[in-house]
């Protein structure tokens, strides 16, 4: 773990140099939260990651780092080379990337054709509707995905942003586990239609987890209609 560190570019350079040599590595857990690297730090990290051609499981925590668009580009370029990856846990919470940054991340994710498990944490990122569109465009290409855990809490997404997200999710025909965290955003009742639109693509799932606040559940007609057991469990848990 290298969290809560503020180091020069030499640190990431040495990390990159070291992991590049691990050609047979299958599993990598790299915690760079509160890392605060400057300059070319994330370029080195991206360059190191992309050399791990046999990697199947990547846990990369970049939360609370003030990532720039260029930083996101380096990370996206690194991730996209991991063709054997089946599980990705990517923590980007508490970063305030601009729209282009989400595009770079999306372009990296969508190349992971063998991915079956994706946990994408975008809490407190101030992601816009356009940013959500880019993320959706990346997610929908993951045709083998069975587990999706998407954290969108505490952002500025409107109905349009959720429409983009739902359009991406609906393309995941093999999905069996969906966890969508979305409270403290600026959606209206139209959110109901976007997430369900005749919820066939969700009803077939074995696990559906949509954490909801009490005031939202009380007025949520589609939840009562489409998922009565879920409504009872969610409401009773509040």
Query: What is the pLDDT at residue 217?
Result: 44
pLDDT band at 197 (very low <50, low <70, confident <90, very high): low
Query: What is the pLDDT at residue 232?
Result: 38
The string of pLDDT tens digits covering residues 3-39 is 445 555 678 889 999 999 999 999 999 999 887 666 6
Whether residue 106 has pLDDT greater than 70: yes
Higher confidence at residue 114 or residue 181? 114
How many other CB atoms are there within 10 angstroms of residue 65's CB atom? 23
- Domain definitions of the chain by residue range: 10-236
pLDDT band at 215 (very low <50, low <70, confident <90, very high): very low
Query: What is the pLDDT at residue 222?
Result: 41
The string of pLDDT tens digits covering residues 124-134 is 998 999 999 99
Question: How far is it, in rounded angstroms, from Cα 142 to Cα 46?
Answer: 21
The string of pLDDT tens digits covering residues 146-191 is 999 999 888 888 888 888 998 999 899 999 888 888 766 665 555 5
For residue 60 the two structure tokens come to: 């990369």
Question: How far is it, in rounded angstroms, from Cα 202 to Cα 87?
Answer: 22
The string of pLDDT tens digits covering residues 54-74 is 999 999 999 998 889 999 999
* Ordered DSSP codes for 116-171: -EEEEE-TTS---HHHHHHHHHHHTT-TT--EEEEE--SS---HHHHHHHHHHHTT
User: Could you identify the residue written with the tokens 């070319």?
Assistant: 40
- Choose the most confident range, by mean pLDDT, from 77-86, 168-177, 202-211: 77-86
The reply to whether CATH 3.40.50.300 applies to domain 10-236 is: no
């Amino acid at each position: 773990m290298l969290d809560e560190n503020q180091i020069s570019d030499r640190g990431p350079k040495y990390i990159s140099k070291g992991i590049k040599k691990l050609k047979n590595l299958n599993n990598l857990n790299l915690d760079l939260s509160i890392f605060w690297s400057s300059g070319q730090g994330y370029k080195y990290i991206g360059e190191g990651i992309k050399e791990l051609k046999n990697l199947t499981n990547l846990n990369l925590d970049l939360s609370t780092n003030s990532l720039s668009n260029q930083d996101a580009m380096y990370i996206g370029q690194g991730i996209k080379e991991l063709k054997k990856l089946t599980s990705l846990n990517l923590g980007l919470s508490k970063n305030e990337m601009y729209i282009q940054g989400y595009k770079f991340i999306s372009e990296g994710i969508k190349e992971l054709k063998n991915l079956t498990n994706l946990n994408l944490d975008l809490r407190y990122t101030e992601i816009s509707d356009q940013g959500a569109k880019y993320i959706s465009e990346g997610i929908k290409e993951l045709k083998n995905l069975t587990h999706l855990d998407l954290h969108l809490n505490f952002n500025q997404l409107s109905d349009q942003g959720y429409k983009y997200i739902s359009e991406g999710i609906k393309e995941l025909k093999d999905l069996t586990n969906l966890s969508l965290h979305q409270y403290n955003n600026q959606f209206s009742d139209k959110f109901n239609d976007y997430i369900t639109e005749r919820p066939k693509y969700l009803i077939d799932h074995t696990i559906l987890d949509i954490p909801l606040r009490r005031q939202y559940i009380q007025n949520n007609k589609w939840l009562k209609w489409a998922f009565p057991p879920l409504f009872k469990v969610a409401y009773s848990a509040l």
